[in-house]
Amino acid sequence: MKNLILLSALLMLTITAVAQTPQATPVNSTEVEALIKKQPKMVILDVRTPDEFKAGHVKGAININIHDADALERIGKLDKKATYLVYCRTKNRSGVAVNHMLQNGFTNVYQMMDGMAGWMQNGLSTVQ
């Protein structure tokens, strides 16, 4: 009986912790243009390499290469109260950045789940 009570208490604590963990809002590339218009002060964060960024990126994006040794430190210095859209080529590198952001007090984070691959596939405009 004691084990059942202990297990129940542990389960409740786990559920509470998961419920309180901030989550990024997933969006796809076709939703991003409307999101940018709705939230014009949103910071667009491209976490790809500088070469990928130069080849074409979302207008207004800033580039922090997630593979740079100081990338997470630089991301951590961004304004935690701002709203962010984070993307990479697919969603792997942006996932690393987004998880870091959420674990470090950022609360308004969107992740472009289909990344620049989806952006390009959908024929959306880029700047160089």
The tens digit of pLDDT for each residue in 4-30 reads 554 455 555 555 444 466 899 999 999
Per the domain annotation, does 3 fall within a domain? no
* Domain with 47 in it: 23-121
Per the domain annotation, does 12 fall within a domain? no
CATH number, domain containing residue 107: 3.40.250.10
Reduced to 3 states (helix: H, G, I; strand: E, B; else coil), residue 27 is strand
Instruction: Give residue 38's pLDDT.
Output: 95
> How far is CA 94 from its chain centroid?
5
Residue among 81, 59, 86 nearest 71 (CA) = 86
Sign (positive or negative) of CA dihedral 22, 108, 103, 90: positive
CA angle 54/67/69 to nearest 5° reads 120
Per the domain annotation, does 78 fall within a domain? yes
Backbone angle region of 65, left / alpha / beta, with phi > 0 → left and psi within -120 to 50 → alpha = beta
Catalytic residue list contains 88: yes
Per the domain annotation, does 14 fall within a domain? no
Per the domain annotation, does 5 fall within a domain? no
Does the predicted model carry a pTM greater than 0.75?
yes
Per the domain annotation, does 47 fall within a domain? yes
Is the separation of the CB atoms in 58 and 126 below 8 Å? yes
Per the domain annotation, does 60 fall within a domain? yes
| Strand duo 62-63 + 108-112: pairing | unpaired
Question: pLDDT tens digits, residue range 25-74?
Answer: 999 999 998 999 999 999 999 999 999 999 999 999 999 999 999 999 99
Per the domain annotation, does 2 fall within a domain? no
Question: pLDDT tens digits, residue range 86-105?
Answer: 999 999 999 999 999 999 99
Domain count, the chain: 1
Catalytic residue from among 88, 96, 98, 116: 88
